[in-house]
Amino acid sequence: MKLHHSTGAIAFLLATPLVTGLTVGIAPSSAAIIAGSAAAVTLDNFSHRPTEIGTFTNTYTQTIANTGSVISQANADAVFISNCHELLAANLSQSGVIGSGNNYSGLAQSQAAVIGDFSIKAKETFSFTVQTMLHLLTSVSNPQSERASATGSISFALIDTVSNILLDSFQFGIGLHSFKAPELSLSYNLAGNFNPTQINFAFLAQGNTTSLSLYTSGVYSRTFDSTTNLKLVEVKNNIAGAQAQPVPQAEPVPEPTTILGTAMFFGFLTKRRKLKNQLSEVKSKV
C-alpha cells in the first residue's frame, strides 16, 4: 500500500473484506471446522493535526494436530498518515483457523492499534469521525465433537497525558461459539463524548454455520476549558479457535455416511506491509 493513495482508497482497502486464495480440500470422510474473526477501523476528519503518531500490530498462532490437520493464520496492519495533504488513521486485524480430522486444535490471535498525541488549546473543540466493522464466522460439521469460536473487540480511549486521567472511552465486543448449539455474546460500553450515528447488526445462521457482523459509525467531539495534551488510543483484538475431539463409542457402529466438506477460509487482505512503530516502540508511547 502506497502512502500517496487517497484517504478514501486507503479506507476502502482496509475496510473491504476479501476472500483469500487459500483453499483447503477436505477428504470425503472427514469433518471440517472453520473459525474466523476480523475487524477494521478508520478515523478521519480530525479537527487537529497530531504532534506525534504511532502504530502497533501483534499476531500469534498455535496448532496441535494428533489426528487430522489444522491451519491457523493471523494478520494485522495499521497506518497513521499525517502530512500536509492527508490525515487518516486506519487499521485491520484478522484471525482464522480451519481444520479437518477428529483430534486437533488451532488458535489464531491478532491485534492492531493506532496512537496519536494532540495538543488542544483552551476553548477549542477536538473532534474526529469513526467507522468500525467487526465480522465473525464459525462453522462445524459435527456439533457434538467439534468446537469453533470467534471473538472480536474494538476500543477507544482519550487520555490526559499530564494527569494520566482517562477522559473518554468507547468499547464493544462480540462473540460466536459453536458447540452443540450456537451461542452469541455482545458487550458494549460508552462513556464520554462519543456519539454513534449508525449501528448495523447482522446475524445469519444456516445449518451449523453462523456469521455475525457489526458496523458502526460516529463522531467524537469535546470542548476543553483549558489547554490539554491528549493521547488517542484505538485498539482491536480478534481471536479464532477450533477444536475437534474423538467421540467415544461404547460399541461398534455402522460405517458413517460420507460427508463432502467444502472448506471456506475467512480472511481480509494479506501480505500487507506493517507501518510505523514496532511493539516495543509503541508500548513506550502509551
Residue 140 or 265, more confident: 140
The Cα–Cα gap between 270 and 261 comes to 25
What is the helix (H) or strand (E) element at residue 9, kind and residue range?
helix 7-15
Asked if pLDDT for residue 166 goes beyond 70, the answer is yes
Residue 113 or 184, more confident: 113
pLDDT on residue 247:
63
Q: Hey, where are the domains in the chain?
A: 33-248+256-285
Share of the chain above pLDDT 70, in %: 74
Pick from 222, 130, 237, 131: nearest CA to 168: 222
Report DSSP state, residue 279.
H
The Cα–Cα gap between 169 and 171 comes to 7
pLDDT on residue 205:
87
pLDDT on residue 27:
36
How distant, in Å, are the alpha carbons of 4, 11, 97, 108, 201 from that of 25? 40, 33, 14, 20, 32
- Residues 88-132 have pLDDT tens digits of 999 999 999 999 888 899 999 999 999 999 999 999 999 999 999
Q: Are 154 and 132 in contact (CB under 8 A)?
A: yes
Which residues on neighbouring strands pair with residue 137, listed in sequence order?
36, 211
Q: Are 214 and 233 in contact (CB under 8 A)?
A: no
Residue type, 73: Q
Dihedral angle over CA of 265, 73, 202, 193, nearest 10? -160
**Grid coordinates 475431539 are at which residue?**
245
Report DSSP state, residue 262.
B
Share of the chain above pLDDT 90, in %: 53
**Grid coordinates 478515523 are at which residue?**
43
Question: If pLDDT is split at 50, 70 and 90, which confidence band does 4 have?
Answer: very low
How distant, in Å, are the alpha carbons of 22, 182, 201, 210, 236 from that of 204? 24, 11, 10, 6, 23
**Grid coordinates 477507544 are at which residue?**
156
- Residues 205-241 have pLDDT tens digits of 888 889 999 999 999 999 999 999 999 999 999 999 9
- Residues 246-258 have pLDDT tens digits of 765 544 433 332 2
Asked if pLDDT for residue 25 goes beyond 70, the answer is no
Question: Is-above-0.75 flag for pTM?
Answer: yes
Instruction: Evaluate the CA torsion angle 159, 160, 165, 168 in order and state its sign.
Output: negative
Average pLDDT (137-141) is 91
Question: If pLDDT is split at 50, 70 and 90, which confidence band does 24 have?
Answer: very low
The Cα–Cα gap between 221 and 205 comes to 38
Pick from 98, 94, 109: nearest CA to 40: 94
Asked if pLDDT for residue 243 goes beyond 70, the answer is yes
Report DSSP state, residue 272.
P
236: number of Cβ within 10 Å: 26
pLDDT on residue 248:
59
